[in-house]
Amino acid sequence: MIFNDGGPAFPAEGGAESGLHAHPGMALRDWFAGQSLAAFALDMTDPGITFGDVASNAYKLADAMLKAREIHQ
């Protein structure tokens, strides 16, 4: 099964002439999840919400964003 992580969010080009090392950057899925954490962290005022719940919801939102992105490209 191939999992769509959205590709690199911030790839860095490199090469022998540039003196830089190429780096693929973080996955777009991770970037989307991280960006949603601020909103989900507001739920942490509820004692029934765990860090695992927040992380899971962040990735659910990231997956939904990637799916919407595929549809609209």
Query: pLDDT at position 69, please?
Result: 92
pLDDT interval class at 12 (50, 70, 90): confident
Query: pLDDT at position 3, please?
Result: 76
The DSSP-derived string for 16-45 is: TTTTB--B--SBHHHHHHHHHHHHHHGGGG
- Per-residue pLDDT of 28-70, as tens digits, reads 999 999 999 888 888 778 888 888 999 999 999 999 999 999 9
Contact at 8 Å (CB) between 46 and 57?
no
Contact at 8 Å (CB) between 23 and 14?
yes
> pTM of the prediction?
0.74
pLDDT at 1 over 70: no
